[in-house]
Chains A and B, each alone.
Chain A
Amino acid sequence: MTIGIVVFPGSNCDRDVQWALEGCLERPTRFLWHEERDLTGLDAVVLPGGFSYGDYLRCGAIARFAPVLEEVRQFAAGGGPVLGICNGFQVLTEMGLLPGALTRNRDLHFLCEPAPLEVQPGACRWLQNYGAGEHITLPIAHGEGRYQVEPEELRRLEAEGCVVLRYAANPNGSVGDVAGLSNPEGNVLGLMPHPERACDPQTGGIDGLRLLAAAMG
């Protein structure tokens, strides 16, 4: 029972995720280098934040072609839980596992602050430990987190219950206040806020703990 944490060149939240899972939740983890193809024995996979491949071309654009992600795509297709945090969310949209794209923040600023959020877990297994309409606070830290999708696609996502996390006070201009998105099956979640930075009471809130705890079902 182990959680895989993908490490790209330029990932920088991989050890934070490891600390949250091992240090705070006592769950075993295994780092998956971007060239690795062996996902055997893993119960969930986390794509952490950072600047994979220097964010060259577009955030997540080069990471999409990493060998490990071919395996992650199959893992997700088989119902395996996959979590993409910040840059990991950007990678999931570039892979097409989640629709839309993350673009430059409306006001151009890199935002590093606590973000109040509303949770609508629906079928999302990563959010099963939260109540519908629950308000939580998680830190955000991004320059390109403005979720963009065409209006008709946004309506479809809302109707299907895929918009599982919304900003209570939209910081970056995301359409529909989208902070996090699930696939309809509920096993893939991408979000811009950092749950792994809200797990240890010594560093502030622990609203992210229940999200990462869901990795093991």
Chain B
Amino acid sequence: MPLFHARVQVSLRPSVLDPAGEATRAAAGRLGVEGVRRLRIGKAIEVELEAPDPATARAQLELLSDRLLANPVIEDWSLDVREAG
């Protein structure tokens, strides 16, 4: 069965406060990097998945992203899939 590599990017929805991102932005200033106007922390999740074809792989990964890896109440997600090999 073909193997697919996927990278799921999970980010907080723009309306959701990101206090950890704000604290990190403040630390950037203390490092001497003054120009950081916005910093939001998300997650990148790497997945290897076996599936019979690319369409099935994408459908499975979309289900995974929407129902487990991200919580659509507070997070957006995007998906990058490529077939291994």
Contact = CB atoms under 8 A, between A and B. Distances in A.
Contact of A148 (B20, B68, B73): B73
Interface in A8-27: none
Contacts of B20: 104, 108
Given A57-B68, A61-B68, A148-B16, A101 B23 contact: no
Given A148-B74, A149-B73, A108 B15 contact: no
A58 interface: yes
A103 B69 contact: no
Given A57-B68, A61-B68, A108 B73 contact: no
Contact of B71 (A58, A65, A104): A58
- In this complex, the interface size class of chain B, counting residues with CB under 8 Å from chain A, is 10 to 19
Interface in B11-33: 15-20, 23
A58 B15 CA distance: 18
Nearest to A105: B19
A204 B6 CA distance: 52
Interface string B52-70: 0000000000000000110
A93 B16 CA distance: 16
B9 to A, nearest CB: 15
A173 interface: yes
Contact of A107 (B18, B19, B68, B73): B19
A107 B19 CA distance: 7
B44 to A, nearest CB: 13
Contact of B15 (A99, A100, A150): A150
A99 B69 CA distance: 18
Contacts of A58: 71
A104 B73 contact: no
Contacts of B73: 93, 99-101, 148-149
Most buried by B among A58, A107, A108, A150: A58
Nearest to B73: A101
A108 B71 contact: no
20 contacts: A57-B69, A58-B71, A61-B71, A65-B68, A93-B73, A94-B71, A99-B73, A103-B16, A103-B17, A103-B74, A104-B18, A104-B19, A104-B20, A106-B17, A106-B19, A107-B19, A146-B17, A148-B17, A150-B15, A173-B19
Interface of B: 15-20, 23, 68-69, 71, 73-74
Given A100-B73, A103-B17, A108-B23, 20 more contacts: A57-B68, A57-B69, A58-B71, A61-B71, A65-B68, A99-B73, A101-B71, A101-B73, A101-B74, A103-B74, A104-B18, A104-B19, A104-B20, A105-B19, A106-B19, A107-B19, A108-B20, A148-B16, A148-B17, A148-B74
